[in-house]
Structure 1
């Protein structure tokens, strides 16, 4: 059985940076996609596209404190692997809050929101999905109504040490938003000893039920396997050429966690996660063209064309691309005249919500800069630029009472005095090499030091770039004022920020 198709889809990754575990559905000519968000808030970003390549974020499914409590959430926990589906005019989105109540569903008639409060669902595990058996073609994506039954699937651990899991199913009642009836175990892997069968999705294609799962774990052994059945509850028979998307080598690795969608023209595509090695970008969303051979899906090669989207943000408003670490109990920022962050006692490195706003790093090589207006009034007051993987792994380039300080956790890696007044802070990122620099507004950039940040190795999340302020455990009435924030993709010789302002 063929495993590759020699007509790759251009424009990959379609969502660069921290965009893991994608799920997609189509309503008419419109596509909607969601990804995992783990401990970052707002939760479960929602994107819209007309061509599956160019995506625009339209909001988040969980953007209210009442919907999502991430207090004390550990790194790479929180919200795992959502699935979005559309049925009878309503969007249904299922996900799992790890270390919390578990599976839940939220609904909306407009994917831009507002979404409902979560309805918690019974059952163990993670990676939930929904299937609406709406007629002869099931998940064709046309949004048509039907009188078929709906089904909820998820993965659960059987033997964690051995990586053994199984895929289970129960009926889902869309109007009541709850599960009912007996449980069915559908699948435990493509072969004896298979590890980490997860990310299940069910489709109905030409009258046959197709089960697609990931397998092998989310590292370099990640793959996609397929199985078919005549009845939605099984038994399922695996594809003779499993995995249908084998572990990848080359510029994109760790490919898996795929979700299929049919275009209005009858063609099929898959969104899936992948990793570009040699950077801290982690798991991104890629696109693959799907053809069919003897009823089994055939994935085109997953490639990338290095999409670059330079950014200059004056903070007239706060765009949906900015996130906080966990759910903020109070709003600590204002916009309109740049971005102002309140100095609060919370610090990055604690299991709290510090005064940090961040957005994903989208390319391995980029220049990041900002202009900071801030005079610390007391020891411990500090603000500046943040390169953050999680609570435990980050770099902070801060203005303090002693000047500029570059820190990795409590360790000071470099410092330098600077005169009073505004200062520009920048970091030139080349893979894991981070060169930090500073300048007076309109002045010449001066390199402070270079850090080989190989400790910024992603697990489930990836590096975020942002702005940070703290009063280090003491109350403060102070604010840090950032007039702009920029990301460019300049030549290696150009200092950070020169093209920003």
Structure 2
């Protein structure tokens, strides 16, 4: 029996949604405050995926200016209907601000996608689209129950028709779901499917943490009433305890493969070094069967496993990506992203070919809602090594280096700085925890150190080692045994996973830092 290994998208790729077009599969995930928004992936076998772009890759589509950490783009859904791809999602402006829903379209999933179609009178988060057999389109989401919340985070799932010509919701709204189990909270992430004579409603419940779950209901009528599945929740790991290898499993979407098999994608996390989820919420895959008209996830086991039976589809691998980006193209690879929508010219791959030139800004990594000069990628392994070569001539009160972060308030910076004039240039490790900065280690750079410096981070589980060198592969340890848990969701909070990347800052907003390469490799 051929097997595959979960997660199929390791690292911060939460809230997966999937659709099939003939023998091709497409999947999208949430991005919150990171830009470009909503990565889109392509697969031929449901196991091996390649990123083909981002849905929201233009400032005109997505302006994240001032958006707090873990706000922004929530839980996208991708669907395909009559030659057109649809992606619908929520834009969360602030902790207490508006939740606005919109959708974009394209005929080519690699893009470009349309400008947003903002939906009026569409409350709640986590929208989805459903195209019925008569061709009519419907929108589902969550909202406050009209009768009020009976308990904290009590929500309702609702439905309304979407007029594709007017690009707006029309007609009456319908209440589909008001809680599967007494007291289960945070009803969200609804998806509708029609299988045979039944309409099935899949719901994420229990919040996105330890008590996360997936429940199901069905009806012979689109607008209900829906009956509760007697085996609910059909998927959760909360009964496995907090020491499970995979936790907070939920927020699922279903797809029927072109061979007739059914599969489920969902989010989950892999804690390590204790109950710490540095990589955030990742994307997992599991088989699904139908028994007496109800879905059963991973029959006989009912949980997500690290090693599972592979789909009975021809294996289709994509060319392996290099562990090292030498910045030898004039476009950034799809793995890279920014904190919020870049304001102005943030970087260049043309001004010095073979280098990523990061333009200095007077914006520090500690500023909430800001767009610092940062280019980063996701942490995807519990143990990994990052190396880069930096060429930089510092201006007064400026820094450049690498940063390992959960947010502006929780991160580590290995930086070269000239902030202390009497000491000249220094290399230092700065920890930011709960917004408080502490220099953990610092060393003056020797007089023979030129403008080219080498920086390295090694993560051995939750133990971090930061090193530097003035010659290639001549490393000097600056700090070791550093606690990595501060970039975990469990310490930093929020909905994102850890990112690792390059940054620079200059109080005068002048100059640039040139990065020759950036290598990320599992250990």
Q: Please report the TM-score for the alignment, with normalisation by the length of structure 1.
A: 0.90
Asked if the contact 2:253/2:266 (under 8 Å) is kept, the reply is: yes
Q: Does 1:462 align with 2:497?
A: yes
Q: Does 1:407 align with 2:430?
A: yes
Tell me, in whole angstroms, the C-alpha distance in 2 between the residues paired with 1:173 and 1:480: 49
How far residue 391 of structure 1 moved from its aligned partner, in angstroms, is 1.4
Q: Flag as ranges the 4+ runs of structure 1 deviating above 4 A.
A: 305-310
2:127 match: 128
2:117 match: 119
Pick from 288, 301, 304: which aligns with 1:302? 304
Q: For residues 307-352 of structure 1, what are the alpha-carbon distances to aligned partners after superposition, in whole Å with 9 as ceiling and x for unaligned?
A: 9976100012310111110011212111232211111111111121
Tell me, in whole angstroms, the C-alpha distance in 1 between the residues paired with 2:307 and 2:271: 15
Q: Does 1:70 align with 2:82?
A: no
2:312 match: none
CA RMSD of aligned residues (A): 1.9
Map residues 489-500 of structure 1 onto 2, 5 A cutoff: 489-490=522-523
Map residues 87-102 of structure 1 onto 2, 5 A cutoff: 87-99=81-93, 100=98, 102=100
How far residue 444 of structure 1 moved from its aligned partner, in angstroms, is 2.6
Q: For residues 91-126 of structure 1, what are the alpha-carbon distances to aligned partners after superposition, in whole Å with 9 as ceiling and x for unaligned?
A: 111000012460001001101111111011131100
Segment drifting more, 159-168 vs 365-374: 159-168
Q: Does 1:475 align with 2:477?
A: no
Alignment gaps of 5+ in structure 2 = 309-316, 419-424
Q: Partner of 1:455: helix, strand, or coil?
A: helix
1:33 match: 27
1:205 match: 195
2:422 match: none
1:141 match: none
Tell me, in whole angstroms, the C-alpha distance in 2 between the residues paired with 1:457 and 1:257: 20
2:334 match: 320
Asked if the contact 2:457/2:464 (under 8 Å) is kept, the reply is: yes
Q: For residues 335-393 of structure 1, what are the alpha-carbon distances to aligned partners after superposition, in whole Å with 9 as ceiling and x for unaligned?
A: 23221111111111112111100110001110111111112132x21110111111111
How far residue 217 of structure 1 moved from its aligned partner, in angstroms, is 0.9
Asked if the contact 2:99/2:124 (under 8 Å) is kept, the reply is: no
Asked if the contact 1:251/1:276 (under 8 Å) is kept, the reply is: yes
Asked if the contact 1:21/1:36 (under 8 Å) is kept, the reply is: yes
Q: Partner of 1:389: helix, strand, or coil?
A: strand
Q: For residues 381-437 of structure 1, what are the alpha-carbon distances to aligned partners after superposition, in whole Å with 9 as ceiling and x for unaligned?
A: 111011111111111111112311111233211111223222211111123322111
Q: Please report the TM-score for the alignment, with normalisation by the length of structure 2.
A: 0.86
Tell me, in whole angstroms, the C-alpha distance in 1 between the residues paired with 2:179 and 2:248: 18
Pick from 151, 155, 163: which aligns with 2:138? 151
Pick from 97, 102, 105: which aligns with 1:104? 102
Tell me, in whole angstroms, the C-alpha distance in 1 between the residues paired with 2:73 and 2:415: 30
Tell me, in whole angstroms, the C-alpha distance in 2 between the residues paired with 1:9 and 1:85: 28
How far residue 442 of structure 1 moved from its aligned partner, in angstroms, is 2.8
Tell me, in whole angstroms, the C-alpha distance in 2 between the residues paired with 1:163 and 1:9: 39
Segment drifting more, 281-290 vs 404-413: 404-413
Tell me, in whole angstroms, the C-alpha distance in 1 between the residues paired with 2:465 and 2:324: 20
1:371 match: 389
How far residue 150 of structure 1 moved from its aligned partner, in angstroms, is 1.2
Asked if the contact 1:344/1:354 (under 8 Å) is kept, the reply is: yes
1:45 match: 39
1:257 match: 251
Asked if the contact 2:89/2:103 (under 8 Å) is kept, the reply is: yes
How far residue 160 of structure 1 moved from its aligned partner, in angstroms, is 9.4
Map residues 209-220 of structure 1 onto 2, 5 A cutoff: 209-220=199-210
Q: Partner of 2:185: helix, strand, or coil?
A: coil
Segment drifting more, 289-298 vs 156-165: 156-165
Report how many residues are paired. 469
Q: Partner of 1:327: helix, strand, or coil?
A: coil
1:436 match: 466
Distance 1:392 1:160, change over 3 A: farther
Pick from 362, 387, 399: which aligns with 2:380? 362
Tell me, in whole angstroms, the C-alpha distance in 1 between the residues paired with 2:416 and 2:144: 47
Distance 1:376 1:305, change over 3 A: farther
Segment drifting more, 424-433 vs 261-270: 424-433
How far residue 87 of structure 1 moved from its aligned partner, in angstroms, is 0.4
Tell me, in whole angstroms, the C-alpha distance in 1 between the residues paired with 2:41 and 2:345: 24
Tell me, in whole angstroms, the C-alpha distance in 2 between the residues paired with 1:160 and 1:462: 32
